[in-house]
Structure 1
């Protein structure tokens, strides 16, 4: 468009910036007239955040504009240096930018090229917007003579792309993109060529900046959404409304939300020590053994009469005789529990009878044992050697053998289902190993280690080998390719292509791929890549006609809208043996299909 020079205003003795337009533009009378008219409008716009226009003129075919000269740098330079800004810094720059745009909108001017390169940051801290009205002049002039779209692609509003129309809301959209870029350090739309970026402006919303900057206040997501709505009717109406939202945000957000990212945050990496209460000092204690004195029964009155040593001897002798009789009688009624451990039930019953005892073996009191075989006695109640009344009963605790659980069949289950099945079998999930397997769907168990049916101890971990699906292949980039070339490239990579949407995109040839999902990465072999293409001729899937008679095949193909070329060779019969293109391929309605009889 122009070259900018630093110059000296000799009349006022001040440094100025002189923008000299491209000579080719200066030869266009319509452009010159519009440039002069809008330069006057821009010169009449006086605002502290707008770069002042001092003069305009022409000299020997050179059209020029004299403007205020600022020393400093652009917002682009600042973003290049810092990457992204804090919310406070972002709002402190955005507010004067919007103030300048609001003044222009009030005066009936539309900037049409709002971007970081047109925001100047002076060395004395002032923020100024440059090039009011110029973008509109250039766009108007060139759009009358060419079919090209002028502007900075990353900041174009959807209506500028679709209809070539711009108003105050177009400036709001561009300022919203600048806001997103200051908060995140990157542009919301990316592509390898301008077509991809233009397509995203029209068909994809600007993502919330918090998706790029964790912890960013949700109010910024709302502000960006209001400014960058793809439907202009849903957007903030002008820069004045945008400015009011910014000022409200600055006064309502807490300082920590405005200074996010200014100072690295810290967070605890370990859990605090947990102090567990000690049991109370007056808690239950083991009961002490109590010694209870016993007293002999009071002797009958006849025995009270004797006195002295003889009487004492008689009492002692009687007591000893009673005790001896009681001991002999009691001993005859009790025995000791025999050792029945490790015996079978029949062996235990036989041994117990020898001692005058009986046995019972309750099924609900059996125990697992690693040392005693199943069906044999683990222990008894009472235990061996304990005193038991003759004719009493001994309870046998029989062994259930070693505690083992079989690994259940897990193949085909999801990881969650397999974990639940192992828990129900008293086993635990071990390591999870993931492998590619084209025969087992992704997320399902291929096999277990140890395999199904293996007997294991309670709680033993079982490793799971889970399918990652078919081994992936690289997704090729097919955006900006003709559809048939894109389909061929996907087939070469082992993938399929499917047209899911057809759209109108200005300046892009029909049947051109403008978007793909996914755009990159890896997919299982045989997967489908969804394609969005520009509108072109309707595609029809070619049916299989081999094996049909030539007449029937021609009728089927013509009914679908194809033209048929019959190649009948001598001695070939009347049956279709070959066809071109192959069945299943997609071809434009009206294209040719060749059928041959041999």
Structure 2
């Protein structure tokens, strides 16, 4: 029969968990250490067997896109494009991550591929000097060429009147072109030359208007007598008709005062020397002299026509003079001689 429970059979927790663990022997300690070493080694082996494979990113910059893709090996590629002033189109500028980086096989590498220089926006050139236009295009990597200059009444010489892109004439300000594109400019040649008109025979007022309408300036030199040209009419000009001159050039003209009329002085009662002085002083020329100049003055004629005091003639008219003849000698007869 089973024994009845007694006082000695009551459960004591201290019996289950003694205050001091029983001492472990030396062989057991070595066994436990071996287990620990085996566990660590197994973990290392497991990590080694399951670790990801890695490779180094190769140098891809400077390769063409196709060649770079062939060099990627275990990596996958993502292509993005970027403008470059120095790298040719289709050539790799750089990789991301950079060459020399260690990555897990199968990682994505971004290849930044050049599209060449960035497009240039065409600037406004009208109103610029040739030097400024050249500099502005040069900064953009564009090439300036000159077309035949054109005359312009407003824009000063050497300033851009218009421009265009020969390869695409419809392009305007703000349109984009590639680096190296040629831009042709048309410069002002200033006002067109003026052909000097013929002014002889015009009144001074009419000649002035004709020149002013052409943008020329008239200058009146001292008037001159002219037998054939009426007073107030242009006799001559210093620049021949048909000559080409710049706008604003000065043309000098001489205007007729008409015929140079002189007045016959009073000659009656004067001796020869006084008559000559009076006629020459008035602008006449002494013609033929008939008679004895020491005798009395008889008459003055022009072209055989008698003249009167204050009669008008042209300067330089010849006057013929007539004096009384030399008296006959007086013969004295002595009676009874």
Higher strand share: 2
After TM superposition, is the score higher than 0.5? no
Q: Between the two structures, name the one with larger relative contact order (CA 8 Å, sep ≥ 6).
A: 2
Q: TM-score range by the shorter chain?
A: 0.3 to 0.5
TM-score by length of 2: 0.38
Higher helix share: 1
TM-score by length of 1: 0.24
